[in-house]
Amino acid sequence: MTHGCLKCLKYTMCVANFLCFMCGVAVLGFGVFMMVNFKVTHSLTPTLANLNLANMLLISGIIISCVSFLGFLGALKENRCLLMTFFLMLFFLLVVELTAACLLLLYEHDIADWVESDLNKGLKEAKGNHTDVFRSEWDLVQKTFDCCGVHNASDWGDNVPVSCCLNDCTGSQIPKYRSTGCLDKMRSWFEENFLNTGISIIVLCIIEVLGMCFAMTLFCHISRSGLGYKL
């Protein structure tokens, strides 16, 4: 009976980690696709210039693929070394996620002030460059969040982009701009999705804890039975 349960646990780990590995490869591939096909400027947040969506997808895909591959191979081959490495990597990721969540809660106001300062810096750089390519990120954000500038349209001065317009800015009519700044819109969006984000983090932590429990259970069984590779 016990042997059957452990065999079921082994193949459950194999299937779960294989699915996670495929998801990681898909995320990695999508990140490469975005990096190759979309030219990204960094005028929105200059300080976080290298943390664009494509790079974040690449990093996430690599981490998911490597960790899940270790879990899959360790369970399939009943390799104690790989199972322990899988357990330690999950534990490290769990600690990093919980630490980041705590820091975000503790320094919420400082982070908000820093984001505002960085957005102002990015908008200042965008104002000094009149090419559409350089403003692509601001145009995307302003159209997506139905906003204009950091606080309002006056942030752009006399060079308000078309993405701020509510009517035809190129015609003879007096242009009407979006009244709400992107900082307030983004803050409202994060507040509205705070619960969903929290639930996602909790679910991710539960999955990681289950993976750690499964790996340690299989590791202990292999140690007691004398099977698998030694550490």
- pLDDT score at 51: 63
Is residue 230 situated within a structural domain?
A: no
Could you tell me which of 219, 191, 194, 172 has the C-alpha nearest to residue 71?
219
Q: Is residue 160 part of a domain?
A: yes
- The position carrying tokens 């980690």 is 17
- The mean pLDDT of 150-176, rounded to a whole number, is 77
The answer to whether residue 189 scores a pLDDT higher than 70 is: yes
Q: Is the predicted pLDDT of residue 229 greater than 50, yes or no?
A: no
HSE, side-chain direction, 13 A CA sphere, residue 207: 14
Q: Is residue 113 part of a domain?
A: yes
Backbone angles phi, psi at 51, to 5 degrees: -100, 50
pLDDT at 171: 60
User: Which pLDDT score, from 0 to 100, does residue 230 have?
Assistant: 45
The answer to the question of residue 27 being in a domain is yes
Question: Is residue 55 a part of any domain in this protein?
Answer: yes
Is 78 part of a structural domain of the chain? yes
As for how many domains the chain has, the answer is: 1
Grouping H, G, I as helix, E, B as strand and the rest as coil, residue 177 is strand
Residue with tokens 């995307």: 140
Span 95-152, pLDDT tens digits? 998 898 888 888 888 888 888 888 888 888 777 665 555 566 788 788 888 888 888 8
Q: What is the pLDDT of residues 91-102, one digit of tens each?
A: 999 999 889 888
The whole domain housing 17 covers 2-225
Average pLDDT of every residue of the chain:
81
Query: What is the model's pTM?
Result: 0.77
Residue 79 in any domain: the answer is: yes
Assess if residue 231 is contained within a domain.
no
Residue given tokens 């090419």 in the structure block: 131
pLDDT at 49 over 80: no
What is the C-alpha to C-alpha distance for residues 178 and 188, in angstroms, rounded to an integer? 16
Lowest mean pLDDT among 12-21, 61-70, 77-86, 113-122: 113-122
Using 50, 70 and 90 to split pLDDT, how confident is the model at 9?
confident
Per-residue model confidence (pLDDT) at position 50: 59
